[in-house]
């Protein structure tokens, strides 16, 4: 039951006078307006904070590039798609060819340990300060130069 109805019932039951009821209704109205104003100010503050913070970047894609004498892989994955996939987000690392992933692991980069959900939170908040997650240059006698880069843009 709303506060206004309670006040009107109190007047009807004779617990308070009509004048006192009117004062309570006006005070209630002012309190509601003040709450609405405060909420609007907070929303505007958040919007302006996001717009005015020059460090906050709006990334759109996770990009995976693998270059070697044998392979050339270019994968662009929209961040919105990764977010929509939720629990499947960690599977994007399987787009990297097995031999390139093996070379990355040999160089100390284990993509299975990458926490995509936490990464997406950092990207959305604007707190991520580096566009590149993985940048590996390797020389292999069989494949020659192998370069793997995973970054956001």
- Choice among 64-73, 97-106, 115-124 with the minimum mean pLDDT: 115-124
Give residue 99's pLDDT. 81
pLDDT at 53 over 60: no
CA dihedral 64, 69, 71, 74 (to 10 degrees): 30
Give residue 110's pLDDT. 74
**Mind listing the pLDDT tens digit for each residue in 109-144?**
776 666 667 777 777 776 667 788 778 888 877 768
Q: What is the mean pLDDT of the chain?
A: 77
Task: Say what the pTM is.
Answer: 0.47
**Mind listing the pLDDT tens digit for each residue in 19-32?**
888 888 888 888 78
- Choice among 3-7, 48-52, 84-88, 131-135 with the minimum mean pLDDT: 48-52
User: Mean per-residue pLDDT for 93-119?
Assistant: 74
Which residues on neighbouring strands pair with residue 73, listed in sequence order? Answer: 66
pLDDT at 89 over 50: no
Cα–Cα distances in angstroms (integers) from residue 11 to residues 2, 15, 20, 21, 97, in the given order: 15, 6, 8, 6, 77
Q: Where are the domains positioned within the chain?
A: 3-52, 61-152
* Residues near 123 by beta carbon (within 8 Å), at least 6 away in sequence: 59, 79, 152
CA 139 to chain centre: 36
């Amino acid at each position: 039951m709303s506060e206004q109805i309670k006040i009107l019932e109190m007047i009807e039951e004779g617990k308070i006078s009509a004048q006192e009821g009117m004062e309570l209704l006006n005070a209630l109205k002012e309190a509601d307006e003040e709450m609405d104003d405060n909420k609007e100010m907070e929303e505007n503050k958040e919007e302006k904070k996001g717009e005015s913070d020059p460090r906050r970047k709006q990334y759109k894609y996770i990009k995976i590039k693998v270059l070697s004498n044998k392979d050339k892989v270019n994968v662009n994955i929209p961040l919105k798609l990764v977010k929509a996939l939720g629990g499947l987000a960690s599977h994007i690392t399987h787009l990297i060819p097995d031999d390139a992933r093996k070379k990355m692991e040999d160089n100390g980069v284990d993509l299975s340990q990458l926490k995509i959900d936490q990464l997406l939170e950092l990207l959305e908040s604007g707190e991520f300060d580096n566009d590149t997650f993985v940048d590996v240059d390797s020389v292999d006698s069989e494949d020659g130069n192998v370069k793997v880069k995973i970054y956001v843009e």
